[in-house]
Amino acid sequence: MLHGALQGFMRKIIHIDADCFYAAIEMRDDPSLANHPMAVGGAADRRGVIATCNYEARAYGVRSAMSSGHALKLCPDLLIVRPRMDVYREVSREIHGILREYTELIEPLSLDEAYLDVSDSPHFAGSATRIAQDIRRRVTGQLHITVSAGVAPNKFLAKIASDWRKPDGLFVITPDQVEDFVAALPVSKLHGVGKVTSDKLARLGIRTCMDLREWDRLALAREFGSFGERLWNLSRGIDERQVQVDSRRQSVSVETTYDHDLPDLAACLDRLPELLDQLSRRMARLDSSYRPDKPFVKIKFHDFTQTTLEQAGATRDLDSYRQLLGQAHARGDKPVRLMGVGVRLIDLRGVSEQLELFERFL
């Protein structure tokens, strides 16, 4: 394991994250929005949700994924602007055009976020810090928005670093700083640790990675199953995940937030055919390198709790989705504000490559 850790520490990973991306573009294009609490999202009277907001709005407690109605209660002066996804996609393409000038090893996470592996980049004598500085300079100069950057020996630490000095910041974790930096890190910052796991760790007296290091692998596996091994590694700053250049689609889905809550299962079932029609049209645009697999449904109840249910081996017809929807609805049995349907996908290109690799050894 030590050898693997050292191999990982030799990498130079940059995580680039645009600062309040959608909101920043709106403020750039309409300067009157700057220095005022504003957000990008749906209208409150149509049960809209906040996609992102500027830092003035965040000071009031407004956050992404919050209902627009609740955001306005927290900040009555909040300006909510409708999203312009075509503009955001174009700016994202321009950002990625800049990134590609430094390396081809880029893993996009979303329109405004990406990992870069610059371990072998010839730019700036191989200095990841100077590459990150230059990317930030060019994005600001050419696109008039800011990005924050984190530089570290692996993806886990680079992502934490990019958030360390937001907005418009750069933070570097060098290999010889990893041990001390990670030791003081709250376990809630670890990749994959959500509220439930964080609460369980706290009940066990584990609040920092230094606390976590006192547990051996076996004890962590008993408490957390296969995730215990991951916790053991992360608490020591070990993350062997590589930057995945070709991020292939894993599913296709559609969802709708309703203006008025669907009161019961019967109302949800009435809306199912129109969702499946939308899904069918979206699936028709997939190329032949994908094969449809498991159907799934997603429900968000009126209180914002949500559930997703999928079924291996099920067909993708109306009856199958009706059964899935019934089972998913029974988990909450409450009025529904959002409903979605989708299909998991098998990447035939990946399967083909695996078969070719296997055949070489026959």
Instruction: Identify whether the C-beta of residue 65 lies closer than 8 Å to the C-beta of residue 205.
Output: no
Residues 245 and 106 sit within 8 Å (Cβ to Cβ):
yes
End-to-end CA distance of the chain: 30
Dihedral sign, Cα of residue 178, residue 162, residue 13, residue 129: negative
Rounded-to-5 percentages of helix, strand, coil across the chain: 45, 20, 30
Could you tell me the maximum CA-CA distance found in the chain, to the nearest angstrom? 68
Task: State residue 350 phi and psi, 5-degree precision.
Answer: -65, -40
* Residue 39, strand partner residues: 53, 80
Residues in the chain: 362
Active-site pick, 104, 107, 113, 240: 113
How distant, in Å, are the alpha carbons of 59, 88, 149, 325, 337 from that of 112?
A: 22, 9, 12, 33, 28
- Would residue 214 show up in a list of annotated catalytic residues for this protein? no
Q: Which strands make up the sheet holding 79-81, listed edge to edge? A: 50-53, 38-41, 79-81
Locate the DSSP E strands across the chain: 13-18, 38-41, 50-53, 79-81, 106-110, 113-117, 147-152, 170-172, 251-262, 290-301, 306-310, 336-347
17 in a labelled binding site: yes
The two structure tokens encoding residue 286: 């997939």
Asked if residue 239 belongs to a known ligand binding site, the reply is no
Give the CA radius of gyration of the chain.
23
| Helix 217-224 with 195-203: angle, nearest 10 deg | 120
Q: Residues within the annotated binding site for Mg(2+)?
A: 17, 112
Q: Residues within the annotated binding site?
A: 17, 112
Which active-site residues does the annotation give? 113
